[in-house]
Amino acid sequence: MHRKLWNKDYILLIQGNAISTIGDLMYSVAIGFWVYAQTGSNALMGIMSSISMFVTMFLSPFCGSIVDKLNRKWVVVLIDIVQGLLMLGVGVLAYTNTLNVPAVLIVAFFAAFGSVFYSPAISTMVLDIIPRDDMVRGQSIQSGIHSTINLVGSAFSGAMVAFFGVPLIVVINGLSNLYSAATEMFITIPKTVQEGEPVSVKGVLTDFGDAAKTILSDPCLRLFIPGAFILNLLGAGFGSLFLPFCLEKGFTVEMYGYAAAIQSVGYLVGTVLLGILKLKPITRFWIMAISFSLSTAFFLGSYFSTSFVLMCVFMFLGSLCNCLGNTVLNAAMMLALPERNRGAIMGLVQAVCTGGCALSALIYGILGDIFPLYLVFSAGGVISLFPMLYICFHRDTKAFISTH
């Protein structure tokens, strides 16, 4: 039987993720304000952002292999429960005024450890829940919901911190994770090819080697994955330092929230467009190539803008184009992965991409304490244009997108 996009499992998945995303957004905003208010250091902000990324970089290639052998639903449920209890513990520390920066960093480490199992489990579950011919639309809808949440949350981020306070926001995040776990229990997914096989060090290393061979043997994956590392290294640091970037330009905390919301509007518009349109393969390629190229140029414009309104316009356009390019490319890559060890492959891909983000956050944070942030971001953006254009318009990229 043909599986509909809006099936029970898809609905349970997106609503559970939506609730936990709300909690995670509120927590990230609150804890970011708290850490920057305590230290005022760009470097520390970069370190805090990079902790979870470095954990992902080193562990995700092996965790993806482990997830392939486990019941993915219960992996997701258990991690959400542990994450919820962890956040409730942080809330207690905040309420008793015993929360400190080292504690926040330790919590970030343990949360990241859970996420390296959570991400490949969710990603492979999506492949079994969304019909293959609706993969772009299904992912676009899911991304659109997250973008809407980010839009509303970012616009009122300053007000949320002022009204609720850090302790209550942390507790709300914990409760949202527990709710997500409760609803995910009712999702039904088929077994993976490897599910039930014993987990061993030898088996995990073998899967890691097979995943690496699969990537190296595919000319497109061999092009995309190193390219993603380079592009994340050159540009991802902006996200972790967006708050100090806005303050450095003389904008207020409230204006930072509005600018973050504008970026979410751009992502939302992009996901809505791809969610309602069914595009021909060649059309998807041109949308991806042109959108990725334009996004870099638009973000460069935002770095140099001294006008808040003009900066927001450039950020909207850059986010819109970035969303279009990423959604098309990610959907094609997911469809191209072999079923047997796709968790291990996705873990390895995530490790490479996240490694670029982690190093970017760390390097940009250190450089941001020496040079103005807009110069640091601009230098990275200009350099990234060259590998971006090479990857987007490579003949193998066109063939890959056109056939998946």
Rounded Cα gap, residues 5 and 359, in angstroms? 37
In a domain, 92, yes or no: yes
In a domain, 2, yes or no: no
Determine contact, residues 363/232, Cβ cutoff 8 Å. Answer: no
Is residue 121 a contact partner of residue 72, using CB atoms and an 8 Å limit?
yes
Tell me whether residue 3 is in a domain. Answer: no
Assigned domain for 84 exists = yes
User: pLDDT averaged over consecutive 10-residue blocks of the chain (404 residues)?
Assistant: 68 81 78 74 72 76 76 89 90 85 84 81 76 66 69 64 79 89 85 74 76 77 82 81 83 79 81 74 83 89 90 92 84 69 69 81 84 88 87 81 72
On whether the CB atoms of residues 259 and 315 are closer than 8 A, the answer is yes
Structure tokens at 87: 């956040």
Q: Which CATH number does the domain housing residue 239 bear?
A: 1.20.1250.20
Residue-number span of the structural domain to which 209 is assigned: 8-185+201-403
**The predicted structure's pLDDT at residue 313:** 93
Question: At 118, is the secondary structure helix, strand, or coil?
Answer: helix
Asked if the structure places residue 196 within a domain, the reply is no
Domains held by the chain: number: 1
Cα dist from 56 to 52, 105, 352, whole Å: 6, 15, 9
Q: Is residue 192 part of a domain?
A: no
* Other C-beta atoms lying within 10 Å of the C-beta of residue 201: 8
- Helix/strand/coil percent split, the chain, to 5: 85, 0, 15
Instruction: Give the pLDDT confidence score for residue 59 in this predicted structure.
Output: 78
Domain contains 193 = no
What is the reported pLDDT for 110? 85
Does a structural domain hold residue 118?
yes
Specify the pLDDT at position 298. Answer: 92
pTM: 0.64
Q: Quick one: pLDDT at residue 1?
A: 42
For residues 211 and 337, what is the distance between their CA atoms, to the nearest angstrom?
10
